[in-house]
């Protein structure tokens, strides 16, 4: 057994392993991050690590909202962890020091709220996944029927949700005469800044109207587009980290070389120079965000469902299938790209890069990982694109094949009749939609299409979509995933 990674053992890292050059004991916290999972640690924390040498006041306090596992793994390592970057050429390792403290929100709430309401904290950033916003995709506002929001409203001083924690911390700051922080959403939601602003403001207004008005006028909620593929860490990754660094790391993170972070330049007061770590500041994030959600994430979800049903474990295997690869290229060129406002040359160069990234065989990104939470992902990844095309009377057969693959997956049985363990907050609704259909494919499609949290009204009521879904669903079941993709390739 090797020595465990920590501040004390850091000097024993294998020579050649890259690590920060700043004097870590001098770094002070300036950011509280909610949702300190692998994605944050492979993305924003790395960008932050790059700027701490020139500005040491932006260290990160990271909190997990649901499970203590990240805190348990990293606290004994003084917050240090290994970043493994993989491509065809091999793996490189880097030790990241930007995370100064880890908290488990349910059990360390007073400490977390104290950190959030401390004047030194000028940013509260979030990667809490789509469902963490407790918003209603149809209205774009707070889901006031959400069980945890109901609890947060009944007991706002002991919040459980991300919006609830932010509102309580802002209340404490206002009461103490401290300026608010910037709320920086880093989740894959369209207009993520606006969604964050709406859920926080609407909750604050219900807790205390004066607080709500103060939030409206004083808090900034910049939008961001964040991009880096981060597969879940495996035992093999831990071993590789140990081999390269010669130190034991309970939770290294693995990623690709690519990183993009586009941020709307609208902060309360000063902001970190994230550009030192490669971030771009722009006045309008929306065109980048729509391109990323529809091109990258839209294709990712189609690859995940078709690939899973086609028996593939990893994205790189799915994209190595020539039928699926051509199908995806055509879905981009014919159905998705025409809905975007970016210049066509920019979009086609983007698609080319995506193909290379998806093909990275070293990444081992599981189709199962992307398939989870489809009900939260489909609206911004596929449904918006479908809606835009239907409005113009344009065909949507490739997108329909993607949705038909999702319906098959969500119905809980694969093409060979084997059970699928569906990981989704709407699983009960899926089970009911499937049971009510009683094995009739038309009824199944109708029942899924009626899910108003997933499909907008125009899309729900579209006859051409319903027909396209049925054709593609039947093709999928008679020809298999690759066969159905081949017909549209
Ligand atoms: C993926 C994303 O799991 C998923 O749903 O589509 O996490 C994707 O890898 C990232 O958005 C890439 O930036």
Residue nearest to atom 3 of ligand 1 (CA): 370
Over its C-alpha atoms, the chain yields an Rg (Å, rounded) of: 23
DSSP 8-state code for residue 366: B
CA 90 – ligand 1 centroid, Å: 22
Give the integer Cα–Cα distance in Å for 294 and 379: 10
CA 382 – ligand 1 centroid, Å: 14
CA 231 – ligand 1 centroid, Å: 9
For every one of its 489 residues, what pLDDT tens digit does the chain have, with 9 covering 90 and above? 789 999 999 999 998 899 999 999 999 999 999 999 999 999 999 999 999 999 999 999 999 999 999 999 999 999 999 999 999 889 999 999 999 999 999 999 999 999 999 999 999 999 999 999 999 877 889 999 999 999 999 999 999 999 999 999 999 999 999 999 999 999 999 999 999 999 999 999 999 999 999 999 999 999 999 999 999 999 999 999 999 999 999 999 999 999 999 999 999 989 999 999 999 999 999 999 999 999 999 999 999 999 999 999 999 999 999 999 999 999 999 999 999 999 999 999 999 999 999 999 999 999 999 999 999 999 999 999 999 999 999 999 999 999 999 999 999 999 999 999 999 999 999 999 999 999 999 999 999 999 999 999 999 999 999 999 999 999 999 999 999 999 999
Q: Which neighbouring-strand residues pair with 247? A: none
Alpha helices in 139-266 (DSSP H): 147-154, 162-175, 192-207, 209-218, 235-245
Give the integer Cα–Cα distance in Å for 267 and 220: 6
| Nearest-atom index, ligand 1, CA of 297 | 6
Q: Give the pocket of ligand 1 (CB within 6 Å).
A: 188, 227-229, 296-297, 300, 369-370, 377
Residue nearest to atom 10 of ligand 1 (CA): 229
| Nearest-atom index, ligand 1, CA of 39 | 7
Give the integer Cα–Cα distance in Å for 320 and 412: 26
> b/e per residue, 162-194, with b = 16+ CB within 10 A?
bbbbbbbbbbbbbeeebebbbbbbbbbbbbbbe
| Nearest-atom index, ligand 1, CA of 301 | 6
Residue nearest to atom 9 of ligand 1 (CA): 229
Q: Which two tokens stand for residue 181?
A: 């922080």
Cβ-Cβ contacts under 8 Å for 234 (sequence gap 6 or more): 364
Instruction: State the sign of the Cα–Cα–Cα–Cα dihedral 409, 404, 348, 381.
Output: negative
> b/e per residue, 455-475, with b = 16+ CB within 10 A?
bbeebbebeebbebbbbbbeb
Residue nearest to atom 4 of ligand 1 (CA): 370
CA 370 – ligand 1 centroid, Å: 7
| 217 touches 209 (CB < 8 A) | no
Give the integer Cα–Cα distance in Å for 71 and 37: 10
CA 229 – ligand 1 centroid, Å: 6
Closest by Cα among 124, 137, 193, 194 to 164: 124
| Nearest-atom index, ligand 1, CA of 381 | 6
**DSSP string covering 72-133:** HHHGGGTT-EEEEEEETTEEEEEEE--EEEEEETTT-HHHHHHHHHSTT--EEEE--TGGGG
Closest by Cα among 316, 414, 334, 419 to 370: 316
Give the integer Cα–Cα distance in Å for 28 and 19: 18
pTM metric for this prediction: 0.95
């Amino acid at each position: 057994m090797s020595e465990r990674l920590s501040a004390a053992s850091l000097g024993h890292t294998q020579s050649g392993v890259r690590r920060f050059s700043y004097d870590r004991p001098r770094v002070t916290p300036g950011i509280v991050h909610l949702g300190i999972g692998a994605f944050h640690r492979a993305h924003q924390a790395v960008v932050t690590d790059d700027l701490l040498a020139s500005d040491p006041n932006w260290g990160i306090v990271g909190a997990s909202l649901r499970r203590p596992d990240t805190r348990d793994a990293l606290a004994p390592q003084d917050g240090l962890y290994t970043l493994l970057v993989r491509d065809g050429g091999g793996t490189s390792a880097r030790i990241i020091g930007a995370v100064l403290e880890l908290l488990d929100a349910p059990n360390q709430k007073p400490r977390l709220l104290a950190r959030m309401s401390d004047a030194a904290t000028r940013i509260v950033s979030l990667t809490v996944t789509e469902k963490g916003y407790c918003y209603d995709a149809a209205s774009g506002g707070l889901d006031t029927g959400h069980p945890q929001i109901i609890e947060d409203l009944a007991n706002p001083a002991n919040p459980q949700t991300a919006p609830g924690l932010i509102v309580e911390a802002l209340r404490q700051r206002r009461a103490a005469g401290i300026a608010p922080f910037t709320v920086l959403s880093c989740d894959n939601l369209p207009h993520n800044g606006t969604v964050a602003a709406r859920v926080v403001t609407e909750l604050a207004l219900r807790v205390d109207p004066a607080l709500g008005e103060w939030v409206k006028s004083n808090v900034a909620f910049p939008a961001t587009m964040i991009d880096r593929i981060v597969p879940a860490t495996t035992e093999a990754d831990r071993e590789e980290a140990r081999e390269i660094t010669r130190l034991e790391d309970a939770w290294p993170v693995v990623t690709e070389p690519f990183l993009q972070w586009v941020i709307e330049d609208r902060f309360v007061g000063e902001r970190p120079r994230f550009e030192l770590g490669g971030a771009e500041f722009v006045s309008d994030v929306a065109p980048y965000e729509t391109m990323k959600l529809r091109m990258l994430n839209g294709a990712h979800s189609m690859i995940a469902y078709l690939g899973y049903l086609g028996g593939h474990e990893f994205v790189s295997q799915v994209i190595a299938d020539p039928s699926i690869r051509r199908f995806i290229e055509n879905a981009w060129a014919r159905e998705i790209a025409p809905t975007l406002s970016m210049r066509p040359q920019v979009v086609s160069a983007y698609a080319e890069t995506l193909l290379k990234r998806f093909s990275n065989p070293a990444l081992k990104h599981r189709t199962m990982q992307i398939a989870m939470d489809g009900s939260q992902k489909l609206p911004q990844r596929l449904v918006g694109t479908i809606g835009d095309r239907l409005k113009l009377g344009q065909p949507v057969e490739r997108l329909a094949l993607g949705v038909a693959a999702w319906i098959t997956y969500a119905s809980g049985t694969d093409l060979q009749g084997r059970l699928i363990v569906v990981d989704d907050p709407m699983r009960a609704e899926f089970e009911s939609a499937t049971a009510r259909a009683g094995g009739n494919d038309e009824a199944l499609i109708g029942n899924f299409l009626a899910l108003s949290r997933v499909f907008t009204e125009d899309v729900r009521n579209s006859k051409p979509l319903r027909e396209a879904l049925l054709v593609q669903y039947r093709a999928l079941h008679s020809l298999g995933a690759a066969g159905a993709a081949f017909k549209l390739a």
